Structure 1
Amino acid sequence: MTTTDTKTNLARMIADNERAILASWVTAFASTDTRISTQEVESQARQLLQALGHATASGNVSDIRRSDYGDVRDLLAGFSRSRAIQGFSPTETATFVLSLKQALFEHIRQDRPEDIAANTWTLSQLVDQLGLFTIEMFQKTREELIARQREEIEELSTPVVKLWDGIVALPLIGALDSARTQVVMQNLLEAIVQTGAEIAILDITGVPTVDTLVAQHLLKTVSAARLMGADCIISGIRPQIAQTIVQLGVQLNVISKATLADAFALALQRTNRTVVRIKHNGNAKAPGVESSEMAT
């Protein structure tokens, strides 16, 4: 039997037995996954089966990456993408396509005995290719989702806080690498422009370790802020980190403070402000109760 005969027989088999193949396919898949409604499964299966029938009538059964299988690939890509977003596993996603084998094999048995082996092998290879393509699309979507989520987490983990007029703070949490440093730098520079900040405090209390590479990233951020007209103060340097920086021989060339409060106090001083404690008289406050106010 030639390849053309196999294509013709497969296309004819799908066209003549579409309803029966579809029912068997939906039943086989429904027994393995109950999270998807029968109506949705049937709709997706019908579209894919019809596209497969058109592709096998004019395309090469041995290579689903040919142009004839464009509609089939588009349907599988959309299906894989939706399953990845919904949180399905790769196995659950591929099972939808692989369960088509059983439905097709039931009709292959009706072929001539001399054709059964050839058609079975051809169909097995075809469905396996469809399954592998589905996994590839699923994995690609998952990687895109993970990359987007990582970017969102980096954005959320590098907020720039306006502490006072002309003073902003950037608390850093987690490790600093080249990609995250770029996000940190961009957020800080945008905040400096928007707020007209004169001083930016980089708080590294949440940074687990500071090595030569992390120090270089910090210095790049400081240099960029200075180019925008804002001076920088680094806070949150713990004793262990201070010892590490000294041992590495790293020259930060920037004023540092142990705590964010100390850095904020210095920033206030540099902007000609101070915090004073005053006593309230009258009914607003009980005698002896004090509060803080900002003096400029």
Structure 2
Amino acid sequence: MSPREDATRERLHDALRERHEEIADRWVRLQLEQTDAVDLDEGQLRTEAGQLLAALTDGLSGETPVRHLFASHRDLRACVMELSLHRARAGASPTDTSLAVLCLKEALLEAMQYTTRDTAELFAAAVLINRLLDTAGALSFETYVEGREEIIRRQSRQLLEVSTPVVRLWRHVLAVPLIGTLDTARTQVVMESVLQAIQEHEAQVAIIDITGVPAVDTAVAQHLMHTVNAVRLMGADCVISGIRPPIAQTIAQLGIDLSTILTKATLADALAAAVRITDEPMPGADAHLTAAAR
């Protein structure tokens, strides 16, 4: 580090320590003025500003190079990442998230003007602040993207779980009515949901109804086979229903062997087969038998 950069860094550190409240207030005001895409809570912003400026003051007191400060200083990195994740959850754009960090440049430059009027010193301060906060802006953007991706993955998972309900049709009999495309991710959710439900309800039969699945190809058939095998490993039987004529024809043409799996044309047929497997009498069966005897 050159003597000039070292002196500039020391002046910035002193400005942060002496004018902490003014810098934090200015930064909050700039954010409220320039990042209006979402409603930002001023109290939350002030908390973020206080924590980040305290961490920045601590970081500048060390010897870590400015360009590596936000990546290396644990508290600084945590503050920027939390700021970015908070905005990602609030629905802010990545541009607004980066601007929130870059607004700090202006607040710091204004604070430095109180420490010196020398043009060369102010230029050196601007270079140092830009070098410092450009890395913070990059970190905030990267964290924002990762945070949004995680939110999207979680929401997708929740939608899959909602769209793949496991229904208890009968004592010891479960059913999973599938509607729409069946892919690897959804099949994994189906498998996990069915296995969990088998354990919770002590089910003996699981019915997978594909009446609402528009098409069955080799991949879909393989997914179904994996699910059936997992169900069997749990000690339960599996019945596939909803085998409509076009799907039956497609399966035959593809040469997919489902001979080891009990299949039925309708969910009603599958339920009747499941009841026979579990040896559970259906309500009203005795009455029907008595009436038939008469």
Q: TM-score, normalised by structure 2?
A: 0.82
1:191 matched to which residue of 2?
Answer: 197
1:124 matched to which residue of 2?
Answer: 130
In structure 2, C-alpha distance between the alignment counterparts of 1:125 and 1:165, rounded to whole Å: 67
1:75 matched to which residue of 2?
Answer: 79
Number of equivalences: 278
1:159 matched to which residue of 2?
Answer: 165
1:84 matched to which residue of 2?
Answer: 88
In structure 1, C-alpha distance between the alignment counterparts of 2:237 and 2:71, rounded to whole Å: 60
Please state how far the C-alpha of 1:221 moved relative to its aligned partner.
1.6
In structure 2, C-alpha distance between the alignment counterparts of 1:66 and 1:270, rounded to whole Å: 62
Determine if contact 2:70/2:136 at 8 Å carries over to the other structure.
no
RMSD of aligned residue pairs (Cα, Å):
2.7
1:226 matched to which residue of 2?
Answer: 232
Deviations 1:193-222 (CA, angstroms, capped at 9, x unpaired): 443433321101232331111101111222
In structure 2, C-alpha distance between the alignment counterparts of 1:262 and 1:174, rounded to whole Å: 22
Please state how far the C-alpha of 1:121 moved relative to its aligned partner.
1.7
Determine if contact 2:109/2:125 at 8 Å carries over to the other structure.
no
2:183 matched to which residue of 1?
Answer: 177
2:48 matched to which residue of 1?
Answer: 44
Q: Between the two proteins, what is the percent identity of the paired residues?
A: 42
In structure 1, C-alpha distance between the alignment counterparts of 2:229 and 2:143, rounded to whole Å: 43
Residue 105 of structure 2 is aligned to residue 98 of structure 1: no
What SS does structure 2 have at the residue aligned with 1:118? helix
Determine if contact 1:160/1:188 at 8 Å carries over to the other structure.
yes
Aligned partner (choices 1, 6, 12) of residue 4 of structure 1: 6
The 1:75–1:194 alpha-carbon spacing in structure 2 relative to 1, beyond 3 Å, is closer
Aligned partner (choices 143, 154, 163) of residue 137 of structure 1: 143
2:292 matched to which residue of 1?
Answer: none
Matched residue type, 1:231: D
Matched residue type, 1:100: L
Please state how far the C-alpha of 1:275 moved relative to its aligned partner.
7.2
Please state how far the C-alpha of 1:40 moved relative to its aligned partner.
3.1
Gaps of 5+ in 2: 288-294
Deviations 1:204-256 (CA, angstroms, capped at 9, x unpaired): 12323311111011112222323333322211223332232122111112232
In structure 2, C-alpha distance between the alignment counterparts of 1:190 and 1:252, rounded to whole Å: 24
Determine if contact 2:16/2:23 at 8 Å carries over to the other structure.
yes
Aligned partner (choices 198, 206, 211) of residue 212 of structure 2: 206
In structure 2, C-alpha distance between the alignment counterparts of 1:180 and 1:22, rounded to whole Å: 47
1:256 matched to which residue of 2?
Answer: 263
Determine if contact 1:169/1:201 at 8 Å carries over to the other structure.
yes
Aligned partner (choices 22, 30, 33) of residue 32 of structure 2: 30
2:290 matched to which residue of 1?
Answer: none
Residue 58 of structure 2 is aligned to residue 54 of structure 1: yes
What SS does structure 2 have at the residue aligned with 1:175? coil
> Which structure has the highest helix share of the two?
2
2:69 matched to which residue of 1?
Answer: 64
The 1:206–1:120 alpha-carbon spacing in structure 2 relative to 1, beyond 3 Å, is same
Determine if contact 2:101/2:133 at 8 Å carries over to the other structure.
yes
The 1:38–1:231 alpha-carbon spacing in structure 2 relative to 1, beyond 3 Å, is closer
Deviations 1:141-172 (CA, angstroms, capped at 9, x unpaired): 22222223333333333322221123221222
Please state how far the C-alpha of 1:11 moved relative to its aligned partner.
0.9
Please state how far the C-alpha of 1:7 moved relative to its aligned partner.
1.6
In structure 1, C-alpha distance between the alignment counterparts of 2:107 and 2:201, rounded to whole Å: 65
In structure 1, C-alpha distance between the alignment counterparts of 2:44 and 2:225, rounded to whole Å: 55
Please state how far the C-alpha of 1:140 moved relative to its aligned partner.
2.2
Matched residue type, 1:26: V
